[in-house]
Amino acid sequence: MSTRSGPSGQTDRPAIVLVRGDITAQDADVIVNAANSSLLGGGGVDGAIHRKGGPAILDACRTLRAGHYGGGLPTGQAVATTAGNLAARWVVHTVGPVHSTQEDRSALLASCYRESLRVAAALGAETVAFPAISTGIYGWPMGDGARIAVRTVRQEATAPVREVRFVLFDQAAYEIFAEALAADGTTPR
Ligand code: ADP
């Protein structure tokens, strides 16, 4: 199932598409990884990407750790590697914030979407697939995560990106993203 939406009358803005499924099965120029700062793999999306993408992605991450990212990738930032065996040209790794009830880390979550899009656009990517960053192991409530994702992508996605696809693992997440899209005033086209 998928939903395609865009601001009415503004066909030059990238489309926002919702898909229910596994992000590692997506055919897109960029697949975004909900990584951790070590860049050396983990659970959830990260584990699935490394399993299906093969060792070339981990090799590229190790090279990053040996160079500019010796201390790891900071939260809210993004960096690209090969996509290995995935049906994508690049994986863009970004580190979401762990959800906190003591501290508002929303700006860091928005930064993940913004920086991933910036890296994707610099590579010349036209299609970008995102998971719901931070809403798994990092504990972010899906409704708030969806609102931040939709708002940030609507504000930040620009050419050459023409399609941003949110890939939601289950029906509940899909419906929450559909509600966030509707609440954001994005009308189907
Ligand atoms: P984080 O550590 O940033 O919370 P996770 O990978 O644990 O990242 O989860 C992020 C979201 O991605 C969760 O909503 C989770 O259900 C979902 N998810 C897990 N595996 C996949 C997958 N293969 N494809 C798409 N979404 C996934």
83 Cα to the center of ligand 1, angstroms: 18
**pLDDT averaged over the chain?**
94
Note the pLDDT tens digit of each residue in 104-146.
999 999 999 999 999 999 999 999 999 999 999 999 999 999 9
The mean per-residue pLDDT over the stretch 147-164 comes to: 96
58 Cα to the center of ligand 1, angstroms: 18
- Interhelix angle 44-53/55-66, rounded to 10 degrees, is 110
67 lies in some domain? yes
CATH of the domain at 101: 3.40.220.10
12 lies in some domain? no
20 lies in some domain? no
DSSP state of 71: T
Number of domains the chain is built from: 1
What per-residue confidence (pLDDT) applies to 17? Answer: 97
Residue 170 known to be catalytic:
no
What per-residue confidence (pLDDT) applies to 13? Answer: 85
15 Cα to the center of ligand 1, angstroms: 22
pLDDT band at 98 (very low <50, low <70, confident <90, very high): very high
From atom 21 of ligand 1, which residue's Cα is the shortest distance away?
Answer: 45
What per-residue confidence (pLDDT) applies to 178? Answer: 97
Considering the candidates 22, 27, 46, 184, report the single residue annotated as catalytic: 46
From atom 10 of ligand 1, which residue's Cα is the shortest distance away?
Answer: 136
Residues near ligand 1 (Cβ within 6 A): 22-24, 34, 43-46, 48, 96, 131-138, 167, 169, 173
The mean per-residue pLDDT over the stretch 166-181 comes to: 98
**Is pLDDT of 76 > 50?**
yes
92 lies in some domain? yes
16 lies in some domain? no
19 lies in some domain? no
- Listed in sequence order, the residues at least 6 apart from 59 whose beta carbon sits closer than 8 Å to its beta carbon are none
What per-residue confidence (pLDDT) applies to 30? Answer: 98
98 Cα to the center of ligand 1, angstroms: 13
pTM above 0.75, yes or no: yes
62 lies in some domain? yes
DSSP state of 126: S
pLDDT band at 12 (very low <50, low <70, confident <90, very high): confident
What per-residue confidence (pLDDT) applies to 185? Answer: 78
What is d(CA 24, CA 39) in angstroms, rounded to the nearest whole number? 17
| Residue range of the domain that includes 38 | 31-188
Q: Does the CA dihedral 40-44-47-50 come out positive or negative? A: negative
Percent of the chain with pLDDT over 70: 92
